[in-house]
Amino acid sequence: MAVFPWHSRNRNYKAEFASCRLEAVPLEFGDYHPLKPITVTESKTKKVNRKGSTSSTSSSSSSSVVDPLSSVLDGTDPLSMFAATADPAALAAAMDSSRRKRDRDDNSVVGSDFEPWTNKRGEILARYTTTEKLSINLFMGSEKGKAGTATLAMSEKVRTRLEELDDFEEGSQKELLNLTQQDYVNRIEELNQSLKDAWASDQKVKALKIVIQCSKLLSDTSVIQFYPSKFVLITDILDTFGKLVYERIFSMCVDSRSVLPDHFSPENANDTAKETCLNWFFKIASIRELIPRFYVEASILKCNKFLSKTGISECLPRLTCMIRGIGDPLVSVYARAYLCRVGMEVAPHLKETLNKNFFDFLLTFKQIHGDTVQNQLVVQGVELPSYLPLYPPAMDWIFQCISYHAPEALLTEMMERCKKLGNNALLLNSVMSAFRAEFIATRSMDFIGMIKECDESGFPKHLLFRSLGLNLALADPPESDRLQILNEAWKVITKLKNPQDYINCAEVWVEYTCKHFTKREVNTVLADVIKHMTPDRAFEDSYPQLQLIIKKVIAHFHDFSVLFSVEKFLPFLDMFQKESVRVEVCKCIMDAFIKHQQEPTKDPVILNALLHVCKTMHDSVNALTLEDEKRMLSYLINGFIKMVSFGRDFEQQLSFYVESRSMFCNLEPVLVQLIHACVAYCFITIPSLAGIFTRLNLYLHSGQVALANQCLSQADAFFKAAISLVPEVPKMINIDGKMRPSESFLLEFLCNFFSTLLIVPDHPEHGVLFLVRELLNVIQDYTWEDNSDEKIRIYTCVLHLLSAMSQETYLYHIDKVDSNDSLYGGDSKFLAENNKLCETVMAQILEHLKTLAKDEALKRQSSLGLSFFNSILAHGDLRNNKLNQLSVNLWHLAQRHGCADTRTMVKTLEYIKKQSKQPDMTHLTELALRLPLQTRT
């Protein structure tokens, strides 16, 4: 039997649709129409039309209208507002991200477990702030001599330079008074910039002058609360300077022949470089004042590498001794910190200097409580408890440098020395913040004893307990001491009057409590915090700490049923009354839940609490919420919904979904999740039904719903289930008590199914049109009634489906679902596959027609033939000769035995002739000529 290829006709659905529609009759002016507006005159409508079409006029008019969006942005836009209010820490952090990278390279000798200075500087800048007015005293010498130097003899040049260095004697000073802290920071940053500029424009003397003047600011201890931050800002400039000098000298050593290796020896440096380097050191040695001389020399310490191998190791002890000349203990301790910092960077192996700094510091420790300092504090109106906390940043750094990889014996010695001194709270604090946590933890009871003995008037005790708590969070004390430690510490903490002091301390100790004790103790601690923070709404000022407490508790209680059984946990949450903070906390909780909850839960305590938490998050969504935020919230809520399972209790599950649906209606992803869940529910429930067609139709409907909600894989599952259910359809079904053949129902269902399949996109991992193929296989294998043509009718329908599928654009789509037309984009391979399927189906139909050539079936053959003819006419491309010939044959077959209904045939022919009048259907004229009408004779 000849194989007929299939060529589907290209359809222009839009045009066809338009041609089928009733023609719109324009209404003439003056004609009556009940819906027509009465007042509008012709001329006016024209005007309006024109106005609407020209964009220029319409846009010009909009300028006078107040735009609601632009009015929101009136005033300061949010970004510049952020910039304006940014705290110095954030500002500085942004300022030196590049510097951090460089520092990391330098620190590589030290190892990653050494906390680098860059971590500290942000904290310091954020912590030591002031509202008092600051002043900068700068003695920028006039630019004299700069222009003329070229002509001067060298000796004079040197002299003028030295004079310029001394220029500050001569009153070219400018004093900037009444600066706010932010102004001050800006000024310092400007100086940093002008240093770089001066360097870049080869004004080395000016650069040096800037550095000297800046480091001189460090000898000024007025507005003492700001000193640590000032130190950070100015040492940044010194770092810049040190780097510039080092790099310049380094570049002098790099000639065309070779590049200096990183670990070079002084012999590799050439004479010019050495001379330049020596020059710098001579220049710096002649700086009159002690503090600038110290800082500037320390900043270029690394340059000693060019001069001699032992340069650095000789310089460090000398600089250490030099600090003894600094009378002010605060200034001197910061100078030590700077030296230790530079020392650690340049020569981390030279531990001796660090130790010397420490012991020198102990020797001068008594000065802190000396008369000179007391007098100064009285003048500035600063109390001792707020003066002493200015020391820790520097001391911690020194202690940290020394204790880094230090032998136990040294640490013990240091501790013993600290113990012996009076007023040693400050020392204790730094020991606790800088030494190894294990070292502290094993001696916790000792420390508690020492802290208790400390003088009440000096360094605040809560800071000491805080430091101890920080250590205990990192390292475990001996098992036997644990409860006693907590009791002793909490006894002190709970007596703290100031809520800020209290919360700063409590926050740290919560971690220790969570780590070593049960929910009973945690509950007690939380209760205590609530008790302290509720009066006068003190919690409003401590949200960050309270948030940290929650985070710590969550981090240690992974079992949420235990967590929510901590009685005070939910009351604790109630303290977060500012919405943004509250939502943050909720997010943390949900995040932890998703991370740690292993198994689905139906625990009513968890569900209740978490639904509440999720509701809080959901309710924070409003029109201004950012997309990202919404996505985040949805993710968290979805994570929760996924973890809820009532097992076989589907009703409960469904009612949970219904409740969720009502709660989370503002977040689309959550709704999608709920639909997923419901779809899954359907999938599980449908098999339990009895009626086969009910099941089939429900599968189809659920699949359609899933598809409509972009749940593609769920839809696939439904369709597959439906397909696999088809073979189970019995031949007879009971309808209203009567047994009836099921074929017509099946036919109806399958036709419906086909129209859905048109838009189902192919699964990327299965073959082309795998659902259609599977369905065809099922139809093929189904045992049909012997004398029925249903199978062929179904095949005809399949042919229609396949023709529709080969169109460039499908007849209909589901919003947001890409069907095969856009997936394949009319790919030729896809079309070929499609046509192959058509051929197979056609072959089946023709085969069947052949079997009907017997007398009793002639009528069926005729009608089937005609319907097939109609199908080809409607969907096939009759310009194809073979198809054309097939249609002519079918026409004859339909009429051959006189079984055809003449009127139908006449109508059909008329239709063809009518169609042929359309522009791209002219080939039908020819076809019509070849289709004779057989009169019944």
Partner 1 sequence: MGTALDIKIKRANKVYHAGEVLSGVVVISSKDSVQHQGVSLTMEGTVNLQLSAKSVGVFEAFYNSVKPIQIINSTIEMVKPGKFPSGKTEIPFEFPLHLKGNKVLYETYHGVFVNIQYTLRCDMKRSLLAKDLTKTCEFIVHSAPQKGKFTPSPVDFTITPETLQNVKEGSQKSGHPCSRPSSVLPGQRQVCRVKRALLPKFLLRGHLNSTNCVITQPLTGELVVESSEAAIRSVELQLVRVETCGCAEGYARDATEIQNIQIADGDVCRGLSVPIYMVFPRLFTCPTLETTNFKVEFEVNIVVLLHPDHLITENFPLKLCRI
The encoded tokens of residue 265 equal: 């020896």
Residue 904 structure tokens = 């139908």
Does residue 328 touch partner 1 according to CB under 8 A? yes
Other beta carbons less than 10 A from residue 407's beta carbon: 8
Distance between CA atoms of 380 and 224, rounded to whole angstroms? 8
Span interacting with partner 1, options 305-313, 326-334, 739-747, 807-815, rule CB under 8 A: 326-334
Footprint (CB under 8 A) of partner 1, residues 352-411: 360, 363-364, 366-367, 370-372
* 168-195 exposure pattern, b = at least 16 Cβ within 10 A, e = fewer: beeeeeeeeeeeebeebbebbbebbeeb
By C-beta, is 193 or 222 nearer to partner 1? 222
Pairwise CA distance, residues 585 & 550, whole Å: 7
Q: Which is nearer to partner 1, 371 or 765 (CB)?
A: 371
Q: Which residues of 452-475 are buried (b: 16+ CB within 10 A; e: fewer)?
A: eebeeebbbbbbbbbbbbbbbbee
Q: Which of residues 106-125 bind partner 1 (CB under 8 A)?
A: none
In the complex, the smallest distance separating the C-beta of residue 302 from partner 1, rounded to whole angstroms, is 19
3-class DSSP state of 136:
strand
- Report DSSP letters for 264-312, one per residue: --GGGS-HHHHHHHHHHHHHHHT-SSHHHHHHHHHHTGGGGGGT-TTHH
Minimum distance of partner 1 from residue 282's CB (angstroms): 6
Query: Residue 252 or 707: which CB sits closer to partner 1?
Result: 252
- Closest to partner 1 by CB, 326 or 845: 326
| 652 sits near partner 1 (criterion: CB under 8 A) | no
Nearer to partner 1, 219 or 565 (CB): 219
Q: Is 326 in the site for partner 1 (CB under 8 A)?
A: yes
CA dihedral 516, 522, 524, 525 (to 10 degrees): 90
882 scored as a contact of partner 1 (CB under 8 A): no
- The answer to whether 157 and 149 are in contact (CB under 8 A) is yes
Sequence letter at residue 222: S
How far is 626 from 520, CA to CA, in rounded Å? 40
If the CB atoms of residues 327 and 385 are measured against partner 1, the closer one turns out to be 327
Contact at 8 Å (CB) between 172 and 141? Answer: yes
- CB nearer partner 1, residue 76 or residue 310: 310
Structure tokens at 570: 């939910």
Residue 159 lies near partner 1 (rule: CB under 8 A): yes
Nearer to partner 1, 163 or 774 (CB): 163
Q: Least distance (Å) from partner 1 to the CB of residue 257?
A: 17
* Contact between residue 760 and residue 715 where contact means Cβ atoms under 8 Å apart: yes
Task: Measure the CA–CA gap between 321 and 303, rounded to whole angstroms.
Answer: 20
- What 3-state DSSP class applies to 488? helix
CB of 506 to partner 1, least distance (A): 39
Tell me whether residue 289 or residue 567 sits nearer to partner 1 (CB atom): 289
Q: Which of 158, 538, 621, 725 touches partner 1 (CB under 8 A)?
A: 158
Among 17, 282, 650, 812, binds partner 1 (CB under 8 A): 282
Determine if 274 is a binding residue for partner 1 (CB under 8 A): yes
The residue (of 284 and 758) whose beta carbon lies closer to partner 1 is 284
**285 binds partner 1 per the rule CB under 8 A:** yes
Contact flag: residue 267 with partner 1 (CB under 8 A): no
Distance of closest approach, residue 437 Cβ to partner 1, in angstroms: 32
Least Å from the CB of residue 330 to partner 1: 10
Distance CA(537)–CA(522), nearest Å, equals 22
- Does residue number 288 form part of the binding site for partner 1 (CB under 8 A)? yes
Spatial neighbors of 776 by CB under 8 A, at least 6 apart, are: 798, 837, 841
| Nearer Cβ to partner 1 (15/278) | 278
What is the phi/psi pair of residue 389, to 5°? -65, 0
Residue 329 or 865: which CB sits closer to partner 1? 329
- 3-state DSSP call for residue 733? strand
Binding mask 196-235 for partner 1 (x = CB under 8 A): -----------------------x----------------
In the complex, least distance from residue 374 CB atom to partner 1, rounded to whole angstroms: 12
If one asks whether residue 310 binds partner 1 (CB under 8 A), the answer comes out as no
Query: Judged by CB under 8 A, which of 12, 57, 272, 374 binds partner 1?
Result: 272
318 binds partner 1 per the rule CB under 8 A: yes
Q: How far is the CB of 166 from partner 1 (least distance, A)?
A: 9
Q: Which of 86, 91, 290, 747 binds partner 1 (CB under 8 A)?
A: 290
Among 325, 600, 687, 730, binds partner 1 (CB under 8 A): 325
Using the rule CB under 8 A, which residue among 60, 64, 70, 155 binds partner 1? Answer: 155
Per the structure block, which two tokens stand in for 715?
Answer: 């839809």
If binding is defined by CB under 8 A, does position 275 make contact with partner 1? yes
The region, left, alpha or beta by phi > 0 then psi within -120 to 50, assigned to residue 498 is beta
Task: Give DSSP secondary structure letters for 37-104.
Answer: -SS--HHHHHHHHHHHH-HHHHHHHHTTSPPHHHHHT-SS-HHHHHHHH--HHHHHHHHTHHHHHHHH
Cβ atoms of residues 793 and 846 within 8 Å: no
Q: Is residue 293 a contact point for partner 1 (CB under 8 A)?
A: yes
**What is the helix (H) or strand (E) element at residue 175, kind and residue range?**
strand 174-179
Is position 153 an interface residue for partner 1 (rule: CB under 8 A)?
A: yes
Binding partner 1 (rule: CB under 8 A), the pick from 77, 132, 170, 289 is 289
Whether 250 contacts 256, CB under 8 Å: no
- Total residues contacting partner 1 (rule CB under 8 A)? 38
Q: How far is C-alpha 95 from the chain's CA centre?
A: 23
From the centroid of its chain, how far is CA 120?
Answer: 26
**In this chain, which of 210, 224, 237, 331 binds partner 1, going by CB under 8 A?**
331
Q: Please name which of 348, 296, 349, 350 lies closest in space to residue 322, comparing C-alpha atoms.
A: 296
Contact residue for partner 1 among 124, 217, 291, 454 (CB under 8 A): 291
**Pick from 820, 818, 821, 744: nearest CA to 788:** 744
Binds partner 1 (CB under 8 A): choice among 72, 321, 689, 906: 321
What's the closest the beta carbon of residue 230 comes to partner 1, in angstroms? 17
Question: What is the distance in angstroms between the CA of the first residue and the CA of the last residue of the chain?
Answer: 32
Please select the residue that binds partner 1; options are 324, 612, 907, 930, rule is CB under 8 A.
324
Position 625 contacts partner 1 (CB under 8 A): no
Instruction: Note the residues at the interface with partner 1 (CB under 8 A).
Output: 153-155, 158-159, 219, 270-272, 274-275, 278, 281-282, 285-286, 288-291, 293, 318, 321-322, 324-328, 331, 360, 363-364, 366-367, 370-372
